Amino acid sequence: MKKDIETREELEEFLRAFYKKAFADELIGHFFTKVVPLDLKTHIPVIASFWESVVFNTHGYRKNVMEVHKHIHHLSKIKKEHLDRWVKIFTETLDEEFEGYHTELMKQRARSIATLMDIKLNHEGIAKA
């Protein structure tokens, strides 16, 4: 039976599975391998702190996620199709191993942050005009 994400170790386990697929994906893999080559050994603890703050209300993550992705967007455009794929892989990877309240919360947050990212990166110019 599947269980919910309850610990930092489970978060990291999920994130390793997620990035393995994201790196290999033909639509978004290049962001992680070419645009900003990621060293997962250092990246997973940072991103786990972000998700820990979302799921368990901890305060270990202090950076502005939108600013990080604005920077990536300037190097190589993050379009809606990329964000949709990111959310699809994230959701499918979670569903493979986990279920429950925290799992649903993570899927919801991933979707809403990705929607906000699309607005900030691809539509803000229009909104301001």
- Which spans of this chain sit near ligand HEM (rule: CB under 6 A)? 28, 31-32, 36, 38, 46-47, 50, 63, 65, 68-69, 72, 78, 82-83, 86, 110, 113-114, 117
Identify the sign of the CA torsion 72, 77, 79, 81: negative
Smallest separation (angstroms) from ligand HEM to the CB of 128: 22
Closest contact distance (angstroms) between CB of 32 and ligand HEM is 5
CB of 51 to ligand HEM, least distance (A): 8
For ligand HEM, the closer of residues 45 and 100 by Cβ is 45
- Beta-carbon contacts of 19 under 8 Å, excluding residues fewer than 6 positions away, are 32, 38, 40, 43, 44
Asked if 78 and 121 count as a contact pair (C-beta separation under 8 A), the reply is: yes
Q: Which residue lies nearer to ligand HEM by CB, 1 or 67?
A: 67
Q: Which two tokens stand for residue 17?
A: 């599975």
